[in-house]
Amino acid sequence: MTAFDDLMSFQRETEALAQIAGRLGWDQETVMPRGSAEQRGEEMAAMESVLHARRTDPKLVDWLAAAETPDAAGNRALDLISRSYLKNARVPAKLATEIARVTSVAQGVWADARENNDVAAFLPTLENVVGLIREKGQALADGGDAYDALLDDYEPEASGADIAAMFDAMRSRLVALREAVLGAAHQPAALTGTFPQAGQMDLAREVADAFGYDWTRGRLDLAVHPFSSGSGNDVRITTRVAEQDPFNCVYSTIHEVGHACYELGIDQAYLLTPLGQGVSMGVHESQSRIYENQMGRSRAFTEWLMGRMQAKFGDFGAASADAFYATVNKVHRGYIRTEADEVQYNLHIMLRFDLERDLVAGRLGVKDLEEAWNTRFLGDFGYAVDKPANGILQDVHWSCGLIGYFPTYSLGNLYAGCLHQALRQAVPDLDASLARGDARPATDWLRARLQQHGGLRMPAATIEHACGFAPSAEPLLAYLEQKFRAIYRL
């Protein structure tokens, strides 16, 4: 055994333990009895304590110094282990364990508070979480910017300043498009009717099939907040059902299938290595978004979807395939980020990005967060939040300690715009497949160009390798303008 082999063998166990921790998270959000939350907090803390000890094990330093790397993948593995070591070594074990314990319990508190629209019941817990995450950010930053340090967990090489600049560049064209669309004479019909849960779950399975989700290595369950979970050969997805809004279930499912196809598509040679998972949340989100939006909300795919919905639910009043396509893409006044249309989605992100950056910088206190949210929302969207479940309590992220995560959603949208441009050039007859409910040619292309490579390259390099050009906002903005001007007959 060489130092490299010893290191990779140790790392393989660490990756396996991390998969277990992830699966506990899945369990907690889908099947765990509510009364088990406190005990689960201790279990998660114990697991985090083990993982933290391994990620900061002094043996890593010796192995990293002595390891000879056989190839580029080996080099990249060493680089990722080294980055992980340096970051984890900066966070005291006690703090890491405490974060695991507190956020595990916080998710239950959040779910109850959201159900009861009770902000006061959540704030002390959120205060605790934000305090611990700030402490972690400051430890990681080591004198630098705490928010940037947190962001690096989700999007290596990104910075708050770059993201703010990106948002500034996108904002004016998105706002102009939104105002044009909402002021247009032609407005698509909204969907009406009731769509029973069992039929929606059947439909969710069909759309997952359409994108090539591998059921032998995954499963679909219900959760309050849809998510995908796991790497390698156990990658599970969740969805939710609202009987008045089947699009919620359909597009949550396609979104999570995108995440899952990325993980399931990674080269098996990278299984349980540092390269064996998506390289960043932004690149992950590019997969979920291109599945959900550029393909799932396309004219071709929605024609197939309309047929499947008619087969399951009978005539629900869609006048034509064109009208149904417009209904799917209707820009509506809503509160919920995960239900937002493509034009307004990024406004939701900008709001959260600014608020959480202020929280970490200490410019905003948790006790003032609801007012800040509601004021900003009124300004950005033009109407007031009607209840906390539609405002500050809508997302699970902060209760999980995921601060620095939100902007990666918009970065993913940007990357998806680039990938879509390249995909359409590479697979010119994609629409013919999508109209048959078969998106697998797109999954095949994405797998070959991007998914199989897992964590081999840095995020922007991953996108550039796949597309053949450096990522920018232009393809996304051009796509949105063309699509929505056509739908709204502008």
Binding of residue 201 to a second copy (CB under 8 A): no
Nearer to a second copy, 54 or 299 (CB): 54
198 forms part of the interface with a second copy (CB under 8 A): no
Query: Considering the rule CB under 8 A, would residue 452 count as an interface residue with a second copy?
Result: no
Which DSSP state fits 273? S
Cα–Cα distance measured from residue 346 to residue 448, given in angstroms and rounded to the nearest whole number: 29
Q: Does 397 sit near a second copy (CB under 8 A)?
A: no
Nearest-approach distance from CB 45 to a second copy, in angstroms: 7
Of 3, 6, 32, 164, the one binding a second copy (CB under 8 A) is 32
Chain CA centroid to CA 486, Å = 28
Candidates 39-47, 68-76, 108-116, 292-300 — which segment interacts with a second copy by CB under 8 A?
39-47
Contact 464/281 with Cβ under 8 angstroms? no
User: How big is the chain by its Cα radius of gyration, in Å?
Assistant: 22
Residues 254-273, interacting with a second copy (CB under 8 A): 271-272
What is the rounded CA–CA span in Å between residue 151 and residue 445? 29
17/180 with CB nearer a second copy: 17
Distance, in Å, from the CA atom of 424 to the CA atom of 411, rounded to the nearest integer, reads: 20
Cβ proximity to a second copy: between 14 and 413 the closer is 14
Shortest Cβ 59–a second copy spacing (Å):
14
Does 485 participate in binding a second copy (rule CB under 8 A)? Answer: no
Query: Catalytic: which of 256, 263, 303, 356?
Result: 256
Q: 211-230: which residues touch a second copy (CB under 8 A)? A: 214-219
Q: According to the binding rule CB under 8 A, does residue 293 interact with a second copy?
A: no
Query: Alpha carbon of 348 to those of 267, 306, 367: distances in Å?
Result: 34, 28, 21
Given candidates 38, 115, 168, 386, which one binds a second copy under the rule CB under 8 A?
38
CB neighbour list of residue 459: distance below 8 Å, 6 or more residues apart:
155, 156, 157, 158, 279, 280, 282, 283
Closest distance between a second copy and the C-beta of residue 33, in Å? 5
- Lookup: tokens for 294: 């550029």
100 scored as a contact of a second copy (CB under 8 A): no
Q: With binding defined as CB under 8 A, does residue 19 bind a second copy?
A: yes
CB-nearer residue toward a second copy: 184 or 271 = 271
* Contacting residue, 4, 7, 25, 47, with a second copy by CB under 8 A: 47
| Integer angstrom CA distances of residue 226 from 27, 261, 405, 485 | 13, 16, 16, 30
Alpha-carbon distance of 237 to 243, in angstroms, equals 20
Quick one: which of 125, 223, 166 has its CA closest to 417? Answer: 166
Q: Does 5 bind a second copy (CB under 8 A)?
A: no
Instruction: Pick one of 3, 6, 23, 431: the residue that binds a second copy (CB under 8 A).
Output: 23
DSSP string for 404-471: S-THHHHHHHHHHHHHHHHHHHH-TTHHHHHTTT--HHHHHHHHHHTGGGTTSS-HHHHHHHHHSS--
Kindly tell me the number of DSSP H helices and DSSP E strands found in the chain. Answer: 20, 3
276 near 266, Cβ under 8 Å?
A: yes
- To a second copy, the closest distance from the beta carbon of 413 in angstroms equals 30
- Choose the stretch contacting a second copy; rule: CB under 8 A; options: 128-136, 200-208, 231-239, 291-299: 231-239
- Return the residues of window 151-170 that contact a second copy according to CB under 8 A: none
Is 36 a binder of a second copy (CB under 8 A)? yes
Q: Segment near a second copy (CB under 8 A), from 123-131, 209-217, 255-263, 433-441?
A: 209-217
Examine residue 104 and tell whether it contacts a second copy (CB under 8 A).
Answer: no
| Spatial separation of the C-alpha atoms in residues 410 and 177, rounded to whole Å | 17
3-state secondary structure of 332: coil
In the bound state with a second copy, the residue whose beta carbon lies nearer, of 14 and 433, is: 14
Question: With contacts defined by CB under 8 A, how many residues of the chain interact with a second copy?
Answer: 38
Smallest distance, Å, CB 215 to a second copy? 7
Beta bridge partners of 237: 220, 228
Please, where are the H alpha helices in 277-334?
281-289, 299-313, 321-328
197 near a second copy, rule: CB under 8 A: no
Phi, psi values for residue 228, rounded to 5°: -115, 155
Q: How far apart are CA 471 and CA 431, in angstroms?
A: 24
| Tokens linked to 30 | 């889908």
Among residues 3, 6, 43, 118, which is the contact residue for a second copy, using CB under 8 A? 43
Which amino acid belongs to residue 394? Answer: Q
* Contacting residue, 17, 89, 95, 139, with a second copy by CB under 8 A: 17
Asked if residue 314 binds a second copy (CB under 8 A), the reply is no
Q: Is 40 in the site for a second copy (CB under 8 A)?
A: yes
**Do the Cβ atoms of 419 and 258 come closer than 8 Å?**
no
46 binds a second copy (CB under 8 A): yes
Alpha helices in 142-211 (DSSP H): 146-151, 160-182, 197-210
256 given a catalytic annotation: yes
What is the C-alpha separation between 277 and 76, in angstroms, rounded?
A: 13
> Which C-beta is closer to a second copy: that of 233 or that of 374?
233
Give the residue with the Cβ less far from a second copy, 159 or 233. 233
- Asked if 33 interacts with a second copy (CB under 8 A), we say yes
Site for a second copy, rule CB under 8 A: 12-14, 16-17, 19-20, 23-24, 27, 31-36, 38-40, 42-43, 45-47, 49-50, 214-219, 232-234, 236, 271-272
- Residues known to be catalytic: 256
